[in-house]
Every structure is written in C-alpha cells, then in structure tokens.
Structure 1
Amino acid sequence: MKKIVSIFIVLITMSFQAQSKKWTLIECVEYALENNISVKQSELDIEVADIDRLTAMGNFMPSLNAGTGVSENTGLSFNPVTNNAQTTTFLSASGNINVGYTLFDGLRNVRTLQRAKISILASQYRLDKMKDDISLFVANGYLQVILNKANLKVLKSQNEVTLEQIERTEQLVEAGSIPRGDLLEIHATDASEKQSIINAENNITISLISLAQLLLIKDYENFDIEDEGYDIVDSSIADKDISEILAKSKETRSEIKIAEQNVSIAEKDFQIAKGANLPTLSAFFGYNTRYTNTTSFTQIIDPNNPTVTQQIGVVEGTGQSVVSQFPNTIVQEVGADSFIDQLSQNDGIGYGLNLNIPIFNGFATKGNIKRSKVNLMRSKFQLEQAELDLESTVYQAYVDAKGSFKSYEAALSSLESQQLAYEYAKERYDVGLTNAFDFSQSKLRHDNAKIQVNQAKYDYIFKLKVLELYFGIPATELKF
C-alpha cells in the first residue's frame, strides 16, 4: 500500500512539474526545429535528393535480368527443342539470364551523378534557411510574449499607485481638503487602468497561443515561457561596418548558396542535354535454355533384319540389274531426356556490343539543349538577383537595428523626463497644488513612456538578432 501511495505521489509531482514548466527561448527554438512541419518537409527533400544520388550511382552498374516460363501445349504445336510440328500434348519450360552494361553514353551518367550530389547540397542549404526562418519566427513570437508580460507588470505597478492615491484622496475628501470631484477622477483612472490590465492579460494569452501553435503544442492552458533574464546582451554587431556584415552574409547565408547550387545544377542539366548528341555504346551477354517432356521419334537398325537389298541400277547393254545392301532402319519412339540433361543440351549463349549513333530525332535533342541553356541563363540571373536581394536585406536590417537602438535611447530619455514630471506632479498633488485630472494625465504619460521603453527594447533585441543571423551566427547560438 505504501508503495502504491509513493508511486501516486511521484506521478502527481511529475504532472505538476510538467504543468508548471516554463520554456526558455532556446528550448522553444530547438523544439520548433525538431517538430515544425516545414522543417520536416525540408528534411524529406534531402532524403529524396539522396535517393536520386543512389539511382545515379546505379547507372554505373550492369543490369541483370532473369526470366523463366512454363507452358503446356495441346494439339498441333512446334516442339521448342526439335522445332518440329507435332500433334500431341506436352509440357515445356524455358529460362534466360541477360546482363547489360553501358560502356559510354556521352558522359550523361557521370553528369547525372554530379547533379544528384549538388542537389543534396542545395536541399541541405534550403533546410538551413528554413531553420533560420523558423528560429526568427519563434524568437519574434517569444519576445512578443515577453513584451506583453512586461507591459502588464507596468500597468499593475501603476495601478497599485492609483489605489494608494484613492485611499489618500478619500482621506483628504473626508477632511474637506480637496473636492469630491478629484476622488471621482482618480476612480475613473483606476477603472481605465483595470481595463488596460485586462487587455494586457488577453494579449499575453493570445501571444502565448500563437507561440504554442508555432511550436505545434496543443496544451495551451499550461504553456508558458521563462520571461526573466532577457536583455540586450551584446550590441557589438551593430557597431561593425556595413561592408563587413555584407561580406560575411555573402559567405554564410543560405540564400546565396542555394542560388549558387541552382546554377551548378543547371550547368549539369546543360551538359546532360548535350551528351545526347554523342553515340552510346553498350555490351550485352545472354544465356538461355529450354526443356520439354514430349517424346520424339528416331530411326534405328532393325535388329531382326539389319540390312535390305535394293536395286540401284542396270548394266547398259546387257540390262542386268545392279543391287546393293542398305541398312534396314525402323522408326522408334524415344522418351524425353531428364530435366538436368536438357538444360545443358539445349542451352545457348549470346554476347556482343550495341552502338547507337543519334542522327535525327525531330529536333528533340536540339530543343532540350536550347531549353537547358535558357534555364542556365535564368539561374545565373537568379543568382545575381539573390545577391542584390541579400544586399538590400542586410542594409535594411542594419538600418533597422541602428534606428531601433536610437528609438530605444529616445524612449529611455523620454521615460526619464516623464519620471521627473510624474514625481513633480505627485508632490504637487499631495500638497493640493494640482487637481486629480492633471495628476492622472501626468501619470498616464509616465505609464505610456514605460510601455514605449519596453516596446523599443524588445524591438531592438529582435532586430539585433536578425543582424547577427546575417553576420553568420547560427540561430541556435544567438544570445539573449
């Protein structure tokens, strides 16, 4: 009984720990990379490319085929062994083995294998890009949850100040120091703040659900994240020269590597198409044999009368007959040889070379060559476009990071000013030198300044991480 109770307690504890687990950003990114459907599809693309490589390797190996057949014939049929027509019922069987090997095919097999290897590399780069994109999506969703939680803390903290002011204002109203309208004004502020708190809590719930859906986690109610310890860790990337970041991105970013591999694939396709103009030389070897259970007929010497005398001519002038003795043969039915004996008696071997020289096929080869050449040119243009797009994107990320840092500094400066203004308004309100409306307006500006600092901070963190990705830092190694 004690053992059962202990197990029950352990299960309850594990369940509680699972429900109270708070996910870190690294855990979210790693979980998304393992479970995201788009990532899994990209991994399947690599498997398909590897299958193509295996198929291309198989083109260098000889082909081996074996066949056999069994049939029963009734009536007039040709004996497959004697090739004589006979009316009977017999069973026949045949078997063959054929080997073929391509000696030369215009190097198309070589180019196909090279293309398959390049395709695997391109699929891997597409997977890397997909992982970077998913990591950014997760990081953006994660930081959105943190921002919403930070805003909620600001609203709750300021509402606590408002509740304290209500209590103090009630005392001043009862003492007749200030009019009751000031108390009503602060109550209205409290109601507005509570509404903002409810909206902030809803925003947290919605952002958590969005993040959980991105991670394919269905337990929305128990899903939560670790919202402590995320700050601007290192801003040295933003201090680098844009040319250095751009050069690094061209070396490491998957967009350029994918476009480069696509050019290489198009070049191989062009070479494969041109190879169709060259002759194809192949070798073959074949072995076949046959069996039948039908009887046959043969002529043998009559043991009872081995010879027979027959006239072969006459002597000219005398008319005397000329005779001679001949073997006296009779027809005898012979049974079928054994299966094993017939396999060796009836076998045959064939081997040789096949040379196929393309001369004219309705411009099909010429059209394929031109089409592959156009695709090669298109892929080169796409590489140039990818380089231009990457340059534009890196410049935009650099400008965004610089701009968001300035916005963050401006928000901090504004908060500092609003903090001083709020403290001054509070002091004046406490001694009755200002009314509740003016004080609530000052407090509202102070609250908004804190929220704007949160927004500017996490916006800068995210854009800084985007810039770090373009500098070649892997998504799983980003520090927050």
Structure 2
Amino acid sequence: MKKHTLLLIALMAVVTAFGQNKKWTLQECVEYALENNISIKQSELAIEEADIGKSDAIGNYLPSLNGSIGNNWNTGLTQDVVTGVLVNQTSRNSSYSATVGLSIFRGLRNLRSLQRAEIAQLGAQYGLKKMTDDISLFVANAYLQVLLNKANLEASKQQNAVTMEQIERTQELVDAGVLPEGDLLNIKATDASEKQNIVVGENAVRISLINLAQLLLIEDYEAFDIQDEGYDIIDEGIAAKDISEIIAAAQENRAEVKIAQTNYDLAEKDLQLARGAYYPTINGFFNYNTRESDRARIGSFIDPDNPTITTQIGVVETTGDAVIAEVPNSSLVELSPLPYWEQLWSNDGISYGLQLNVPIFNGLSARNNVKRSKVNVKRQEYLLEQAKLDLESNIYQAYVDARGSMKAFEAASTALESQQLAFEYAQQRYDVGLTNSFDFSQAKLLYDNALVEANRSKYDYIFRLKVLELYFGIPATELKF
C-alpha cells in the first residue's frame, strides 16, 4: 500500500512538473484564444441569436393554436350560460375554447422576414470571422512582444557576461600597472548599469507574459511561459506578391466588406418589410368552444293522473267564438344540472372565417417607416463604399509596412554585423591596452543598441507579415511562424 502511495505521489509530481514546464507555441496560443476568448464566445452567441431569428421567421408560416379555460363565479343579475336568460343568481360556470389561426397574406412580410434572417445569419458568421482574425493578431502581437523582450534580456545577459570578463581582464591590467584605476571603475559602472538593464528586462518579460496570459484567460501566471525558439526563419512570404493580387484576395475573403455588404442587404430587406405595411392582410381562424354550469335546469312535468286539460287557445276572428283544445297538463319544475361531460358535449359550438384588414390611414406611420428605411439603405450604401475604401487603404498600409519592416530588418542586421565587428576590434585593442575604457564602453554601447534594434525590427517584420497574410485570406489557425 505504501509503495502504491509513493508511486501515485511521484506520478502526480511528474504531471505537475510537466504542466509547469510546458512552453506554449504561438500556434497553440492562437488556437487556445480562439477556443476560450470572451469576445469569440460573444460572437458565437450572435450566431445562435441569428439562428433563433431564422426559426422565428419560419414560424411565421405556421398556424397558431391557442386554448383557453375559464371558471367563474357570479352573484347578482347575470346571464345563465345555458338558457341565456338574465336572472338574479349566484352561479359557477366554466368555459373552454381552442382557436387555430393562420396568416394567409401579410404583404410578403413573411417571405421578407425569412430572407432577412438568412442574411443576418451570414452577417453573424462574418462577424465571428473578423473577431477571429482580430484576436489572432492581438495574440500574435502579444506573443512577439514576449519574444522581443526575451531576446533583449538574453542579449543584455550575454553582454553583461562579456563585461564581467572585461572586469577580470581590466583588474589584471590595473594590477600590472598597464591601465589606470579609473578604467576599472568605468567598467564596473558599465556592469552596474547592465545589471540594472537586466532587472528591467526581466520585469518586461514577466509583464508581457502576464499580458499574454490574460489575453488567453490563463490564471496561472507563474507557470505560464512560451516557446522562444524556431522564429528565426524569415522570408518575404506574401510581401513578395503584387499588391493588386493581395487586394483582390482580401476583397474576396476579408470579413470587413462582407459585413458591410450584409448590413446593406439587411437595410434593403427592412425597406421591403416597411413597404409591406401598405398591403392588406388576410387571416383565417377556426374556433371550437363549449361550456358548463352548476345552475339547475328548468324542465316541464306532466301530471300522470291528469295528463291533459281542456283550455281556450284562441278566438275565431269572424264569429268571436272561443277555440277550445286539449293540451298537455304540464308545469315547470327545477331540475338538477346535467352531468359535467354531458354538458360539455351538449353546449359546444364552432366558429370559423376569414378576416381582411385594409390599411387606410395610420397617422403616416407606415409612410414614415418607409422613408426612414430608405435613409438607412442610403447610409449602409455609403458605409459599404467606405468599407471597400478602408480595406484597400489598410492593405496598402500593411503592404508598405511589411516591405518597410523587411528593409528595416535588413538594415538593422547589416548594422548589427558592422557594430559587432567594431566591438570585437575595440575589445581586442582594449585587451592589449591600445584603447581606454571609455572608447571600449562606447563601442559596446553601440553594439548593444544595434542588437536591440535588430531584435525589434525582426519581430516587427514577422508581425507585419502575419497582418498581410490575414488580409490575403490565410485562416488565422493556419498562419505559419
């Protein structure tokens, strides 16, 4: 038992250590964000709402069925629900009805509503795609910022390691009387400044990691880390294509223009729906109803001992003689109510028919709704044109940024090579005492700055390429880094 417990503890420790040592790739971060980001979930809810809206539009074609049940107590002068006579009474009665209604014609508004719901579905899907692209760029930008901070931190540590070696070398030269004490103090001051930069760099890495973790909704900030290798291969990619090809692909694939187009289509459908109020409507209905009461019935009773009587029933108009006849000897009596189910069967009835409503005058509301819808159509038309112009402008800007960042990266790489050679030369001269510590520190500072700029331009170039790839239509989950 003890062995099993120890084995379980060891296994849990391995699993925990594995989870803490996991380093997220950019692709994993993008995929995780697309699955868990709140804005993505809200866009998915918008699709669900659009689906419900389409279900509502389909429901307009279906008949309605409504039932009602009532049970009432009346005191005073009320109508007997069975005889229809007004009597002063205290009674209880119940009624039941079921009505089927069908909209036969509504000025084509049922059809327009269904078409509008289908367009709204497309708009929600385009909205989700745009949100997916935006979140992917946010994650990529945050991820590359962590990479940049890590690269700068690593460069600071490497350069400080060189400084530490120079402190040892300078100490030897000072002890030998080759260099003055001031050179050693200058190098130590550089070391202190670099260590401060390392602390600042570590804080920058931690803050950028926390920002990325928050974007991914990951709460374990301490264990969260990213993969910082495999991002050194850079080529022109999409930036090598002609700008017209990129614009054509973007107009076909990007969601911005499609969203504006669906908004315009929705506005046109709203205009058609508003015009539907000019037309008459036809509705059909069928109703079944029944009732029962606890009131006693009034019936006639024939005397069995004297079933008939002779009585005058009229007068001969010409002679004035009385007309005598033998009639049943009956009298009115109060009877108990019929059984519940028998009453329902005996007192039921049906009604059915058609109803035509013709709009004649409605305070100009229908006409004003049409005018308002026309204004919205024009507004959405302008927004569609603006979306096309904005997309083309953004693509040009992204293309220029990508090409410019490529040239900046190439220039920074060339500058870094030159500054590295200059630093190595200054280091060699310093080691043999041919230059002072100030000139050596200046050469090292220029090399450090060139290394930071090379890192910045590198990751800026990667990000600009990803923006261009999304405009070209590459899905967010298929971006290559």
Give the TM-score normalised by structure 1: 0.96
Aligned counterpart, 1:24: 25
Once structures 1 and 2 are overlaid, which stretch shifts more, 384-393 or 415-424? 415-424
Contact 1:311–1:322 (8 Å) recurs in 2: yes
CA distance in 2 between partners of 1:329 and 1:427 (Å): 141
CA distance in 2 between partners of 1:371 and 1:335 (Å): 65
Deviations 1:212-259 (A, max 9, x none): 111111221111111111134442311111111011100000001100
| 3-state SS in 2 of match to 1:123 | helix
CA distance in 1 between partners of 2:237 and 2:11 (Å): 47
Aligned counterpart, 1:390: 391
Q: C-alpha displacement at 1:190, in angstroms?
A: 1.1
- 1:115-194 map, 5 Å: 115-194=116-195
Instruction: Give the gaps of 5 or more residues in structure 2.
Output: none
Contact 1:233–1:479 (8 Å) recurs in 2: no
Deviations 1:26-70 (A, max 9, x none): 111111112211111111111111111111111111010001112
- 1:434-445 map, 5 Å: 434-445=435-446
Aligned counterpart, 1:55: 56
CA distance in 1 between partners of 2:271 and 2:246 (Å): 35
CA distance in 2 between partners of 1:213 and 1:338 (Å): 72
Aligned counterpart, 2:219: 218
Aligned counterpart, 1:365: 366
Deviations 1:359-389 (A, max 9, x none): 1101100000010111011101100000000
Q: Percent identity over the alignment?
A: 60
Aligned counterpart, 1:279: 280
1:121 alignment partner AA: L
1:134 alignment partner AA: I
CA distance in 2 between partners of 1:323 and 1:241 (Å): 118
- 1:190-205 map, 5 Å: 190-205=191-206
| Residues 242, 306 of structure 1: alpha-carbon distance in 2 compared, 3 angstrom cutoff | same
| RMSD of Structure 2 on Structure 1 (CA) | 1.9
Once structures 1 and 2 are overlaid, which stretch shifts more, 90-99 or 252-261? 90-99
- 1:63-142 map, 5 Å: 63-142=64-143
Q: C-alpha displacement at 1:326, in angstroms?
A: 3.0
CA distance in 2 between partners of 1:321 and 1:289 (Å): 46
Q: C-alpha displacement at 1:110, in angstroms?
A: 0.9
Contact 2:402–2:468 (8 Å) recurs in 1: yes
Q: C-alpha displacement at 1:419, in angstroms?
A: 1.6
Q: C-alpha displacement at 1:275, in angstroms?
A: 0.8
2:293 alignment partner AA: T
| 2:447 paired with 1:472 | no
Q: C-alpha displacement at 1:320, in angstroms?
A: 8.6
Aligned counterpart, 1:42: 43
CA distance in 2 between partners of 1:423 and 1:256 (Å): 54
1:301 alignment partner AA: I
2:227 alignment partner AA: E
Q: C-alpha displacement at 1:72, in angstroms?
A: 3.1
Contact 2:237–2:465 (8 Å) recurs in 1: no
Once structures 1 and 2 are overlaid, which stretch shifts more, 372-381 or 428-437? 428-437
Contact 2:236–2:406 (8 Å) recurs in 1: no
| 3-state SS in 2 of match to 1:383 | helix
Contact 2:155–2:451 (8 Å) recurs in 1: yes
Aligned counterpart, 2:447: 446
CA distance in 2 between partners of 1:462 and 1:314 (Å): 115
Deviations 1:181-239 (A, max 9, x none): 21111111111111111111111111111111111112211111111111344423111
CA distance in 2 between partners of 1:312 and 1:46 (Å): 82
1:237 alignment partner AA: I
Once structures 1 and 2 are overlaid, which stretch shifts more, 176-185 or 230-239? 230-239
CA distance in 1 between partners of 2:320 and 2:364 (Å): 82
Deviations 1:328-378 (A, max 9, x none): 222222222222222221111100101111111011000000101110111
| 3-state SS in 1 of match to 2:278 | coil
2:343 alignment partner AA: Q
CA distance in 2 between partners of 1:300 and 1:441 (Å): 130
Deviations 1:400-423 (A, max 9, x none): 001101101111111111122112
2:451 alignment partner AA: K
| 3-state SS in 1 of match to 2:359 | coil
Aligned counterpart, 2:427: 426
Q: C-alpha displacement at 1:6, in angstroms?
A: 1.3
Instruction: Give the gaps of 5 or more residues in structure 1.
Output: none
CA distance in 2 between partners of 1:442 and 1:368 (Å): 74
1:96 alignment partner AA: S
- What is the total number of aligned residue pairs between the two structures? 480
